[in-house]
Structure 1
């Protein structure tokens, strides 16, 4: 049967989808369909039903048929009818009970989220973002609401040029920027879209999700070594496989804050990577996933500023604002922009225009910088509390990496990582072992550790999360 429509020939109603049995009396069919909708919970207690005149027109039945069905269900207690309030689902009618997911035997429920990569969702600047949306939509030109440009709104690209130059040392023009939905989307466009091909030199630790995207695109990844100065970019020229015609022509780095081990890429190693790309006609892919969050000094500028013609700079809002706003950006060498836009295609892979306009307004108004500074202070305090708690209760467990980002790595005694993660799970603490992020072909020896995200827990539960973490750690030797 047809859905109810907002405007009917007999008056104004509202949508109510009912599936009527094709056989039997129409009154009985209407009553049965309403009972089923209430019983399933699709019509919740207190829901107002359409006037019977408009529903009758929408269902193609007589007006008295719906009126009699309503009266029948009122008498049975399914509905209530009051003068001036219309006909509603009775409050005492119980909705269909929800399925309770089965618990995994022998495991505690997750009560503390210490997973990496998740910002503090409670600190999202709702009022400032909502105001930016209102201002941006009000001021937007008419063409903003028509089919647009896969490169992204010009307002946002112009704003990003100014912001990235000021805050991250990136050199670009609006024509070099392509707006995307985040780092994963950028990888799919660059490699799945055929703009770049493998092999790809990578750091020995990274997100397995990103390695999966590359594998799905048929890209072979070649892990470099890692030491106190960051990724061994000095191995690019001599690394097995990179000296032949089938060697890597691109390298993927997290230079500001290696993910997840936490060290910055030494200036000399940065220069080596850029010189290698320049001499080979290749490209450095720079994942600046949390470059704004450095706590012991000013954030290090982007590698892209060293050679904009050979570095693809990729950033997003996932750590700085919220992963729920699916916005990111690529700053491309000029010769790559057309190829990326061709890979992006027409319309389907575009990001929302209103979010782009809102972000441009949010940055230009100064609210983005204000939010970054506020979260920098909060995350610094969170990391300091983690370090102090470990110093007091588990001084034999060092925190490695620089004071930056949304996570820290805890070095564990060799052979204890798996049992520690299991102990944390039993205590309701969700976190990851360092082995989760290790490239299967990494040339470096295995390191036992925990990757602890300190941004996600609510403020009032952070202390208890750290106490639970400490109870899961191995005892002193």
Structure 2
């Protein structure tokens, strides 16, 4: 017969002390409330439930509750049960003057134009919830088990169709592996490459240091390729004798914002074919383009030499932790071995929800809607800069979620500092430059610039963020800040 105590209500952990049961229970509850372990308003178990859990008489618990109510520790109302009473927090003594805690600390910025994040307030909650309900209703029982380390077949099947249609990727479900974000996929590839005795993975002169660090942590060196006026110079790959792979953002270079030149796309693929190397293609925001035709994924040129890495972090939200790799056939087994017994795959229910979201057309509708929203943001940014900060050249805006604002030489850090005083979080291009970046040929490379993520602020903060940006530019240049964003 089932133990009756297992069927009662909410659990409450208390340790009785002393010889008297009622006194010990009252002392334990007072201590839990006093220390904050039981917060004001917390509903306590019924006297019957708690008595069964503690193995004592119900009257003992009822009497203890009643006395604590009389003392003001608890409240009891018909239909609301017994709860912890609302109490004023004890006043803490002020720290002594001169102590570390007494020093003023700059708070969080009011606005953010940091690149790399979409407008999180625009996450399609209603449509996502509908998809989640449909997915949960249709989910087979085995979906709640550990499952295939490649990820749910429903998601991999829909992704194969979507990537082929929208990004020109050659994919079939058997070559797709779902991972918990781009970084997870890159970690797996670093492990695979090191196992293949690769010593170096070439990277672009501009990019995220966290990605370089992931490769370095895998025991790989990360020499930088030159960058010039038409982007990353992949012709230099042939001179890197130790490189067995290259990490690139060919559709929309991050952060400089240019697509990889066709000749350099061809040079990268030729290098991979001739050397047996691999191209790791980071297609982080390929859906968002505005003033040009979409640049297809590089992977379509040689699916057996290019690892395609995509993510929902920019199109939906990074908090979903949903990304995918489309692998050359010969790499699938090695990547699965690298995952090991501890499976870092995202929640099966989130995978099934994304599969339904894609299959229903909701994903395409959301991307189109956000494309229009971000284009309006970009146009407003360019217009306000033209009006309030003339002379600032804006580049890298034909696609993506950020822009590059080119600054006079030697002014980048002063603008970033001025932005901080305006309550604006902002980064300069120096933050993304490889410490060993070689000089490029052709047009000069931008030396001082801001990387402005115009997708990041919610609508309610967008005008304020624009004002803060223009104010920072004026402050750094010693000019008056006139006008404001509408």
1:93 is the counterpart of 2:123:
no
1:403 is the counterpart of 2:398:
yes
Give yes or no for contact 2:378–2:397 (8 Å, CA) kept in 1. no
Per-residue CA deviation, residues 452-475 of structure 1 (Å, 9 max, x unaligned), is 111121212211211111111132
Per the TM alignment, residue 24 of structure 1 is displaced from its structure 2 partner at its CA by 4.2
Give yes or no for contact 1:317–1:328 (8 Å, CA) kept in 2. yes
SS of 1:321's equivalent? coil
Equivalent runs, 1:76-475 vs 2, <5 Å: 76-90=71-85, 92-94=86-88, 105=104, 107=106, 109-193=108-192, 194=194, 197-238=198-239, 242-243=240-241, 247-444=242-439, 447-473=447-473, 474-475=476-477
Give yes or no for contact 1:118–1:453 (8 Å, CA) kept in 2. yes
Per-residue CA deviation, residues 57-77 of structure 1 (Å, 9 max, x unaligned), is 212333333222211210111
Q: Which moved more, 1:102-111 or 1:196-205?
A: 102-111
Q: Which moved more, 1:153-162 or 1:190-199?
A: 190-199
1:63 is the counterpart of 2:58:
yes
Which of 15, 19, 39 pairs up with 2:15? 19
Per-residue CA deviation, residues 137-176 of structure 1 (Å, 9 max, x unaligned), is 1112222122200011111111111000000000111111
In 2: Cα distance, 1:99 partner to 1:332 partner: 60
Corresponding position of 1:3: none
In 1: Cα distance, 2:6 partner to 2:286 partner: 61
Per the TM alignment, residue 18 of structure 1 is displaced from its structure 2 partner at its CA by 2.0
Per the TM alignment, residue 407 of structure 1 is displaced from its structure 2 partner at its CA by 1.0
In 1: Cα distance, 2:103 partner to 2:293 partner: 45
Q: Which moved more, 1:166-175 or 1:63-72?
A: 63-72
Per the TM alignment, residue 476 of structure 1 is displaced from its structure 2 partner at its CA by 8.0
In 2: Cα distance, 1:315 partner to 1:169 partner: 13
> How many residue pairs get matched?
464
SS of 2:184's equivalent? helix
Q: Which moved more, 1:390-399 or 1:190-199?
A: 190-199
Give yes or no for contact 1:7–1:14 (8 Å, CA) kept in 2. no
In 2: Cα distance, 1:117 partner to 1:99 partner: 42
Per-residue CA deviation, residues 375-426 of structure 1 (Å, 9 max, x unaligned), is 0001111111111111001112111213211111111111111121111111
Per the TM alignment, residue 96 of structure 1 is displaced from its structure 2 partner at its CA by 6.5
Per the TM alignment, residue 40 of structure 1 is displaced from its structure 2 partner at its CA by 3.5
Q: 1:459 to 1:251 in 2, by over 3 A?
A: same
In 2: Cα distance, 1:279 partner to 1:455 partner: 40
Corresponding position of 1:48: 43
Q: Which moved more, 1:107-116 or 1:258-267?
A: 107-116
In 2: Cα distance, 1:72 partner to 1:107 partner: 47
Instruction: Say what the alpha-carbon RMSD is for the aligned residues.
Output: 2.3
Q: Which moved more, 1:376-385 or 1:106-115?
A: 106-115
Give yes or no for contact 1:44–1:95 (8 Å, CA) kept in 2. no
Q: TM-score, normalised by structure 1?
A: 0.92
In 2: Cα distance, 1:151 partner to 1:231 partner: 32
Per the TM alignment, residue 357 of structure 1 is displaced from its structure 2 partner at its CA by 0.8
Give yes or no for contact 2:68–2:74 (8 Å, CA) kept in 1. yes
Q: TM-score, normalised by structure 2?
A: 0.90
Give yes or no for contact 2:109–2:420 (8 Å, CA) kept in 1. yes
In 2: Cα distance, 1:105 partner to 1:67 partner: 49
SS of 1:205's equivalent? coil
Per the TM alignment, residue 431 of structure 1 is displaced from its structure 2 partner at its CA by 1.1
Q: 1:292 to 1:7 in 2, by over 3 A?
A: farther
Per the TM alignment, residue 298 of structure 1 is displaced from its structure 2 partner at its CA by 2.7
Per the TM alignment, residue 105 of structure 1 is displaced from its structure 2 partner at its CA by 4.1
